[in-house]
Structure 1
């Protein structure tokens, strides 16, 4: 591999391989974002973009495409490489294609509900026993029923098991008991309290099922990537991008692969934050060939889903950035319907100018000289299909005006949805305000071509940052580790639960909010340290609830609910900004 001088900033229009360098004293990170048809990769030295590259993706052999991309980015001196951040479509593809592994679900619903609707995830066994809403054990499960379910699962060839009890976030005893009772009979066991410490029984069931269904494939993928890295003499840590815009080490991701679902949209959000972040509210658009991913910055930071995202039609507790995908892309199909344009939501192939079968917005961009690809004559022919009587240039402008208007409508609908959602705490209500965007940040292949049309539609300055075509890979490289944990304390009963680490410990009657915050802060710091974070993390307490327990006519203790996080953001780097 050819060496190159230090401090080179790559031109946004450069393509293909870029010569790398071997230096000393640098902290280098590789960021890779895998899309549906291509994977983009960047090599950063601090905050300086040193190299970028793109390869075609073979979804059937995803790890081979990733390793091929790594070969173009790895510096000659492997010691300069601090870590690799990867945004992968593996889990998303498994969901979309229905190729999830079969899962056996063991569910303890307890009294009060008919749990049959929870069996929608596949083969499900309900067992007896119960723990109440304060974590008191009412009745232990029957070992015989557990063994019967285990035998049926083994006979069905199931290797992944999900275990969920209704109030496991208050007391995980029964989930851990069942897992211990199963022993080594199954290769993979996911427990609900480890997936999320938040309440909401149905969401925890679906999240646990998804995690168990993804685990075998993710472990095979992890093994293939690690073998490829070892073969190339690369022993630096490898992290996977999560849906919430943070990262998680491979070692931990193998326990929680569900967290890597929808990492593509989060990579684009973090890329925009790295390339064009700033104070105030902003609209983020990632315009691709088939869809446009829309997200928002509020007070300079990305919005998180308040509870969890829907995956495969089911609500989950998987924390994710708030994004919306609209079926509007550069290669979207275009037809005439009722005298107007019908754009998307599907893509039937490349634009006509590149050999496709029908008109697309990309053909309009070529006609107006905004893109220099394919055949301009064929692009003009595409516009004549849409409006034979009008000049192609006129049709192209109308089409792109309409395209920008549709994106604007989707943004307005998203803002309205965010503002219309119910809030459940006084603090959230007091801090609620209308989102007022001050600028539009656009990335993706058609970004520069659509800049003027979007500025007209939104009436706002439109920013197309340099290196926007690899913004997702830059976002993957620059994002930092994130952690969330919850604490439930009942000092009247003398017990505290921190579900994410399976912690259930005794406390004194005097245990209060100050001690709860100190304990949860310690837990999050310990988790972050185990995941490789060396700096002291900034921890936000995002939910506090404290209630007195009254027995007779006196206070006998407190119930405390506490939630804290390392919020999504950019990791600190040496050197200047991108």
Structure 2
């Protein structure tokens, strides 16, 4: 019996969907408008590819979703959990309160129940103060019935997470096991405020992830499909529903990473630059051994500075729907705003009233789309200057992402990649693969499941070999928890950074393990 899988990726302009067979060949693909509520667009795209594929529905066993639900909830300040923020770090951290530097509207939304209790650790693992369990019991009773999620951050918890874990036990004891608790040691790295912010945002979008997962599973069942559901995460791999509900923040920026993974699969290139041109933006990322390069910088999400893992991307305001404005003196501007998913009604070649980048390439005869006669009156010399500027914007972004001046392979994906030529400065070759328009959905569908651990170890206590083995074993277990096949998990990335400013010959070890999907279980549960 053949087994099929669905891959869906939600972008700012389009929701892309594919069905793949067991050899990962595309059976059906579609692009549909992303809707304001996101979910409607997902269901429409899914329904269309299922009807077109005409495969037995009982043979569709996997469904992968790359979604912007959690990102949108944070950016729009909507549908966020009622949360409590508990920092373990008094008296050492009283001068800098939680949520400092976060935009006022987000602080108002998430900062109603904020507490700092005695406890935490020094950078070498020694206790700053004994954990104030009595205060934690008092807090738990105070917030009972008022919050539906809790974020706990302890000073230097990547070195020692014992206080966070004990605090979580107390919260669950009083509030019940069903209340989600986010621990900073499981989400961010060293750096208290950024790690705390990441943990707070994670706690804030738990219900969004749960609602999205439930809706997706129910939509599949309405179509007669009992598939195992996975979410795309921002390192180019997948996670199970349970894992996604526990760590929903990892879905942020999964769209561009799906495109990178899809580009690698479609071209067979393991090391390249990927230029993903959508309707609104162009995202440029780097493939290293078929996985996205990770950012080493703190990343702002919804105005909050965080330090959890994120892909290394450059985004520019150039897409298929980007608006071109021509001034009276003959000068022009490109974007950064876009007509987005309204391109088929707003673009000149489709009978609209707005000059876009798509109109420019059609008028210059580079793309056959819509009605070229509607842009035949435009000044070709001016359009050529606009087109050259568009290319320069992309070439400049490519240059920013390269680590040397040597030319590298560049893969074009995304529906808007028809805007770009067959050669670009800085590229050894430009590849436009088959199915380039739905590379993101393909990336979601073919992705492996991963687990990652990032901790500080004292080599004086453990020795380097034992520390490495501990980190590897933990990463493998994380991958299995996320839904990987236990028999086929392998270590795909190891990073080992000595920390000269910490005692005990300390080193930060990051290990990623990945493997294929575990065999289908009897039933999917949320």
Q: Tell me, yes or no, whether TM beats 0.5.
A: yes
Indicate yes or no: 2:166 matched with 1:189. no
Q: What is the alpha-carbon distance in structure 2 between the residues aligned to residue 86 and residue 219 of structure 1? A: 13
Indicate yes or no: 2:40 matched with 1:88. no
Counterpart pick for 2:510 among 555, 563, 570: 563
**Residue 52 of structure 1: how far off its partner (Å):** 1.1
Indicate yes or no: 2:34 matched with 1:57. yes
RMSD after superposition = 3.1
Report if the CA contact (8 A) 2:257-2:292 is conserved. no
Counterpart pick for 1:324 among 314, 318, 324: 314
Residue number in structure 2 paired with 1:263: 254
Q: What is the alpha-carbon distance in structure 1 between the residues aligned to residue 397 and residue 289 of structure 2? A: 21
Residue number in structure 2 paired with 1:170: 159
Report if the CA contact (8 A) 1:404-1:457 is conserved. no
Alignment of 1:488-503 (within 5 A): 488-490=456-458
Counterpart pick for 2:81 among 79, 84, 101: 101
Q: Sort the Cα spacing of 1:570 and 1:458 in 2 relative to 1 into closer, same or farther, 3 A.
A: farther
Counterpart pick for 2:469 among 506, 518, 524: 518
Residue number in structure 1 paired with 2:521: none
Indicate yes or no: 2:219 matched with 1:228. yes
Relative to structure 2, which stretch is displaced further, 41-50 or 93-102?
93-102
Indicate yes or no: 2:56 matched with 1:77. yes
Aligned pair count reads 492
Q: What is the alpha-carbon distance in structure 2 between the residues aligned to residue 360 and residue 301 of structure 1? A: 33
Residue number in structure 2 paired with 1:439: 409
Q: Secondary structure at the match of 1:190?
A: strand
Report if the CA contact (8 A) 2:410-2:429 is conserved. yes
Counterpart pick for 1:376 among 369, 372, 375: 372
Q: What is the alpha-carbon distance in structure 1 between the residues aligned to residue 187 and residue 424 of structure 2? A: 45
Counterpart pick for 2:201 among 192, 206, 210: 210
Report if the CA contact (8 A) 1:31-1:41 is conserved. yes
Residue number in structure 1 paired with 2:245: 254
Report if the CA contact (8 A) 1:245-1:320 is conserved. no
Counterpart pick for 1:543 among 493, 496, 500: 496
Q: What is the alpha-carbon distance in structure 1 between the residues aligned to residue 471 and residue 235 of structure 2? A: 20
Q: Sort the Cα spacing of 1:570 and 1:173 in 2 relative to 1 into closer, same or farther, 3 A.
A: closer
Report if the CA contact (8 A) 1:129-1:139 is conserved. yes
Indicate yes or no: 2:410 matched with 1:450. no
Q: Deviations over 1:146-196 (max 9, x none)?
A: 3554466458x4322211111222222222222222235373321212224
Relative to structure 2, which stretch is displaced further, 146-155 or 169-178?
146-155
Compute the TM-score of the two structures, normalised by the length of structure 1. Answer: 0.77
Residue number in structure 1 paired with 2:115: 125
**Residue 299 of structure 1: how far off its partner (Å):** 6.6
Residue number in structure 1 paired with 2:359: 363
**Residue 105 of structure 1: how far off its partner (Å):** 0.9
Report if the CA contact (8 A) 2:278-2:415 is conserved. yes
Report if the CA contact (8 A) 1:548-1:558 is conserved. no
**Residue 484 of structure 1: how far off its partner (Å):** 0.9
Which entry has the higher C-alpha Rg, 1 or 2?
1
Q: Deviations over 1:127-150 (max 9, x none)?
A: 223322232334334345435544
Compute the TM-score of the two structures, normalised by the length of structure 2. Answer: 0.84
Counterpart pick for 2:388 among 393, 397, 401: 401
Residue number in structure 1 paired with 2:484: 533
Residue number in structure 1 paired with 2:523: none
Relative to structure 2, which stretch is displaced further, 332-341 or 219-228?
332-341
Residue number in structure 2 paired with 1:554: none
Residue number in structure 2 paired with 1:478: 446
Q: What is the alpha-carbon distance in structure 1 between the residues aligned to residue 319 and residue 298 of structure 2? A: 26
Q: Secondary structure at the match of 1:345?
A: strand
Indicate yes or no: 2:275 matched with 1:285. yes
Indicate yes or no: 2:11 matched with 1:31. no
Relative to structure 2, which stretch is displaced further, 105-114 or 289-298?
105-114
Alignment of 1:148-159 (within 5 A): 149-150=139-140, 153=143, 157-159=146-148
Q: Deviations over 1:448-505 (max 9, x none)?
A: 35224xx25556532211111111111111121121113444477xxxxxxxxxxxxx
**Residue 314 of structure 1: how far off its partner (Å):** 2.6
Q: Secondary structure at the match of 2:159?
A: coil
Relative to structure 2, which stretch is displaced further, 270-279 or 320-329?
270-279
Report if the CA contact (8 A) 1:128-1:142 is conserved. yes
Report if the CA contact (8 A) 1:43-1:50 is conserved. yes
Q: Deviations over 1:75-103 (max 9, x none)?
A: 64345334221111111111221213343
Q: Sort the Cα spacing of 1:546 and 1:364 in 2 relative to 1 into closer, same or farther, 3 A.
A: closer
